[in-house]
Amino acid sequence: MGRVLDVQSVEKYYGNKGNLTKAIDDISFYVDKGEFVGIMGASGSGKTTLLNCISTIDRVSSGSIRINGMDITKLKGNRLNQFRSRELGFIFQDFNLLDTMTAYENIALALTIQKIKPSEVDNRVKEVAKNLEITEVLHKYPYQMSGGQKQRVASARAIVTNPQLILADVN
């Protein structure tokens, strides 16, 4: 198989000298391609912070995170943005669907950012919608969907780009 994720000695602090909070305390683990890994813990234990660091939403205070051998803690600017859009898929707790866009548009947005041809965007959105059984909601806005439908639209948006790693922060 091959290693897709390698987290080594990661620590994350918030605050300053007078009021420092250690959100992640020296965590190391790896994930091989094809594996599904769940991170469990009490509320406030750092699960979301860890996912935010792996997903490049947040930066680590120390340690390294490698995805397919690339140390993402060293990436900045456009290189980081390109890496994030091409290699990572995100599923957020609150779905993060854009209220002014239909399900189709929310899913297609990930491909549009990558400058995929419109005909291919259409094919890929319809294919992932069929696989997740949400074809009937593609024309609906988030407020018109159930929670489960929103979750599947958010999942479709995460997988439609064929990322190397999908990160899901779900309840």
Q: Are residues 60 and 18 in the same domain?
A: yes
Question: Same structural domain for residues 9 and 64?
Answer: yes
Looking at the structure, do residues 8 and 60 belong to the same domain, yes or no?
Answer: yes
Residues 53 and 84 occupy one common structural domain = yes
CATH of the domain at 55: 3.40.50.300
* CA–CA separation, 54 and 42 (whole Å): 19
Instruction: Let me know if residue 98 belongs to a domain.
Output: no
Q: Which residues contact 68 (CB under 8 A, 6 or more apart)?
A: 2, 3, 4, 87, 164
Pairing of strands 70-71, 62-67: antiparallel
Using the 3D structure, point to which of 54, 88, 122 is the last residue of a domain.
88
Task: Indicate if 82 and 7 belong to the same structural domain.
Answer: yes
Domain that holds residue 147: 103-164
Percent of the chain with pLDDT strictly greater than 90: 82
Q: Do residues 36 and 60 share a domain? A: yes
- Which pairing describes strands 88-91 and 165-168: parallel, antiparallel, or unpaired? parallel
pLDDT tens digit string along 9-62?
Answer: 999 999 988 899 999 999 999 999 999 999 998 988 999 899 999 999 999 999
Q: Among the three residues 28, 58, 88, which one is the final residue of a domain in this structure?
A: 88
Domain boundary among 27, 56, 88: 88
Query: Domain check: are 18 and 51 in the same one?
Result: yes
Q: How far is CA 144 from CA 55, 131, 155, in A?
A: 29, 21, 17
Q: How many domains does the chain have?
A: 2
Q: Are 84 and 110 in contact (CB under 8 A)?
A: no
Token pair in block for residue 26: 């020296």
Tell me the per-residue pLDDT of 108-166, one tens digit each, with 9 for 90 and over.
999 999 999 999 999 999 999 999 999 999 999 999 999 999 999 999 999 999 999 99
The pLDDT assigned to 93 comes to 78
Query: Are residues 65 and 6 in contact, defined by beta-carbon separation less than 8 angstroms?
Result: yes
Token pair recorded at residue 71: 């140390």
pLDDT tens digit sequence for 75-93: 999 999 889 888 999 888 7
